Structure 1
């Protein structure tokens, strides 16, 4: 099982579009691609109820939780206990996504709990100012994704990608930068990586494709090609 995010990386984030057997098939394809391209970190974000199944039937992915709460074992019915997702097999987590936003206090607590357990953190930021603020919290990676572009098929423009890359690296050059707004084709993946991102990812571009498995494969191939060409 992979446990550390290294660049370049690709995240397949099926949100709540997939579950069970259909999700497993795509996760196993992602696992196959991760084995084929060991220099790429491949991640799949997984609904909580599917984490254990996916983790038990893959070897080369970083299985990623969609959220955790900043709580410790004890009271907290209906919350997401970090120890629970770790036990199930998740080794990374998304935090502060536009569909699951957190206050600064909540984000800080969730990140602290993740770091205590050795869970990698990918924290979402929808503006330059938010990216700068989050960088000071020292996540593993920051997903720079303007909320208004999510799911639109419209990618971030070159100036936004360049500016957010620069702002984050100025705070801490070790923080990985993920750019994924509107990614819907292998060409989008290629362009985004050529502009300097450490990683990218996709949801509906894969889940809504005629062949999700083929689209997933083509996107990872495109990421590898762009990163290799960057040298």
Structure 2
């Protein structure tokens, strides 16, 4: 099932009441495509998970987790707390919140025991292959220099997607600069199993229209 993940990050429109409003719009739009096999997911801040997960039908992911278990870890983010709050998965190792490979391995191992899906971000294929050894549910290849920009990875680095498909198979999600119908279409045609987007939707004045356009590309 193709994944379409919208990362709210800590944008103003993706925080608190505004995050809930946006998530509801996304949920409503996703229902229009309910007869397709696209799985639309929103990744929100920890403080917003419980509220948003209780108000929408689409899956809610957390944006980060720490490699910790119950104990004295002030400020740490437990997988168990995310799951209990209503999250149905987690994104880790985003270029804006990096982890070591050892930490990634530990989180994946703990998440498997909880039956909690993990999407691990990687800046390049070499890192992605190292992460693949830990058998996460998904690996998102996102060249850092393209994140948040107007030039997409499918336009600038199509060969990276092709090579990643061969090495990572249907676990591959692609992100970085994806903001248009053509970006999504090309990414899927190259063999990726989904896309990770953010500012194109979260910071849009018409997020519903942008989302419809991007989902039509599948």
Q: Which residue of 2 aligns with 1:72?
A: 69
Count how many residue pairs are aligned between Structure 1 and Structure 2: 211
- Kindly report the root-mean-square deviation, in angstroms, between the aligned alpha carbons of the 2 structures: 1.3
What secondary structure sits across from 2:41 in the alignment? Answer: strand
Q: Deviations over 1:126-184 (max 9, x none)?
A: 11211111111101010011111111121222111101111113xxxxx5210112101
How do 1:1-231 residues align onto structure 2 when only pairs under 5 Å count?
Answer: 7-17=1-11, 18-38=14-34, 39-59=37-57, 61-156=58-153, 157-169=157-169, 175-223=170-218
What's the offset of the Cα at 1:185? Answer: 1.6
- Taking the aligned partners of 2:110 and 2:65, their CA distance within structure 1 comes to 9
Compute the displacement of 1:115 (Å). 1.4
Following the alignment from structure 2 to structure 1, what is the Cα–Cα distance between the partners of residues 204 and 29?
Answer: 18
Contact 2:29–2:208 (Cα < 8 Å) also in 1:
no
Instruction: State the distance in 2 between where 1:100 and 1:208 align.
Output: 20
Q: Could you list the runs of 4 or more consecutive aligned residues of structure 1 that deviate by over 3 angstroms after TM superposition?
A: none
How high is the TM-score relative to the length of structure 2? 0.92
TM-score by length of 1: 0.87
Unaligned runs of 5+ in 2: none
| 3-state SS of paired residue (2:217) | helix
Structure 1: gaps spanning 5 or more residues: 1-6, 170-174, 224-231
SS in structure 2 of the partner of residue 168 of structure 1? helix
Contact 1:125 1:142 in 2 (8 A): yes
